[in-house]
Amino acid sequence: MQTLHIITSLFLALEPTVDPSQSPDSNDTTVAAPADAATPPAQEEKVVPAVPAPEIKTTETKATPAPAVLDVKVSGYLQTQYTGPFLGSPSKDPGALTIRRARLRTKATLVKDFSATVMIDPSTPANLVRDAYFAWTGLLHHEIRVGQQKTQFGYENPESSTKLFTVNRTFMSDKLGRGRDLRDLGIGILGNWTFDTLGVDYALTGVNGAGPNVVLDDTRKKNFWGRAGVSYHVETLHLKVRVGGSYGVGNEKRPFTGTAPKSAFNFDRVGADIQLDHPWVLVLAEYGQGHDEKAHTSNKVTSRGFYVSGIIRTPWNFGPIARFDSYESNIDIVGTEKHRTTVGLYYDVASLNIRFVGNVEILRSTTEETETGYVWAQILF
């Protein structure tokens, strides 16, 4: 019996031990309960509501706007020219070197959308102040000016001389497109809109009519000058076309004809202009007509004029200029017309803001025939 007990103990000691990790179901670490065993109900997980973080109240500190700082910009330009007979031809000027313009412009931005502009020309002490006006740009697409400024008529007169390619403006611009001077004292409203390839612009000026740098108005009523236009950009051709019209009406006091004493007269003006602006060429044309009627009389004079000009642009900032302008001071009298042909060259030194222009003017009328040469230089600063 004792021997059987010993054999049984040895047998049990030699029986292999099963490692659960080597079982085919070793990936499942859950021990299966017997099929007939009751499965205890799963305990519902208790969700503990999140405790909201305590609200931290902060006081918003608004930045105090910095006080407005006066912004002043100074710019200007100098234009000099030599005038003389061309190749010995008769000329209205025997030859002279002059300062054509010496403009100094100061623009001060006082507060947002409000500025003051003053431009003087020391080369003409008798007409020292050119521009002197306040401007407000708070109205969308508009600028409103109050003070001495350019009157608005046509293309050439409102354009700065720094952007023109001829030394002298046309007869039409001088005789029909302005009053005594390009500038006068009054109110101006300028508007401009751009809609993709379409643009609309207008400029109106209501002025005294007495001219610049005049304190007292010696005219019987105010003068009005205005222009408006529509432009279209032909993108496939890189061409911008603008067509405009102008109108002027008012009263002036100056010699009605020739050297007669000053007298008051009423006037009206109409005009049309077109510009073709391409990277390679600029074509300009303008026509104007007007009536002058001496006050309290039936003495009425009708005058008209036009010009056509072309400028070739090149990658070298160098190119030819050609212009023809004509003016007839009284269409009812034969022999009052005069014609002028202007040809020349221009050269821009873009890096230095310098332009050189050479013009030859060939004038023909019933009273004079001249050829005058001009060499003109300009620097912007």
CA Rg value for the chain: 43
Q: How many domains does the chain have?
A: 1
Tokens of 110: 């006082």
Vertex 138: Cα angle to 66 and 77 (nearest 5): 85
Q: Is residue 198 part of a domain?
A: yes
Tokens of 99: 């300062």
Q: Is residue 2 part of a domain?
A: no
Q: Which helix (H) or strand (E) holds 354?
A: strand 354-365
Q: Is residue 134 part of a domain?
A: yes
Q: pLDDT in tens for each of the 381 residues of the chain?
A: 444 444 344 344 444 444 444 444 444 444 344 444 444 444 444 444 544 544 544 445 455 555 556 899 999 999 999 998 887 676 666 678 999 999 999 999 989 999 999 999 999 998 999 999 999 999 999 999 999 999 999 999 999 999 999 999 999 999 999 998 999 999 999 999 999 999 999 999 999 998 899 888 877 789 999 999 999 999 999 999 999 999 999 998 776 555 555 677 899 999 999 999 999 999 999 999 999 987 767 788 999 999 999 999 999 999 999 999 999 999 999 999 999 999 999 999 999 999 999 999 999 999 889 999 999 999 999
CATH number at residue 182: 2.40.160.10
Residues spanned by the domain of 185? 73-380
What contacts 24+ positions apart, CB below 8 Å, involve 308-311?
308/283, 308/284, 309/165, 309/166, 309/283, 309/284, 309/285, 309/342, 310/281, 310/282, 310/283, 310/284, 311/165, 311/281, 311/282, 311/346
Cβ neighbours around 313 below 10 Å, total:
16
Q: Is residue 277 part of a domain?
A: yes
Q: Is residue 160 part of a domain?
A: yes
- Per the CB < 8 A criterion, the answer to whether 157 and 174 are in contact is no
3-state DSSP percent of the chain in helix, strand and coil, to 5: 10, 50, 40
Q: Is residue 229 part of a domain?
A: yes
- Per the CB < 8 A criterion, the answer to whether 127 and 212 are in contact is yes
DSSP letter (8 states) at residue 33: P
- Per the CB < 8 A criterion, the answer to whether 344 and 358 are in contact is yes
Q: Is residue 14 part of a domain?
A: no
Q: Is residue 49 part of a domain?
A: no
Distance of CA 181 to CAs 54, 102, 151, 269, 272, Å? 76, 18, 9, 15, 20
Q: Which of 290, 285, 317 is nearest to 301 (CA)?
A: 290
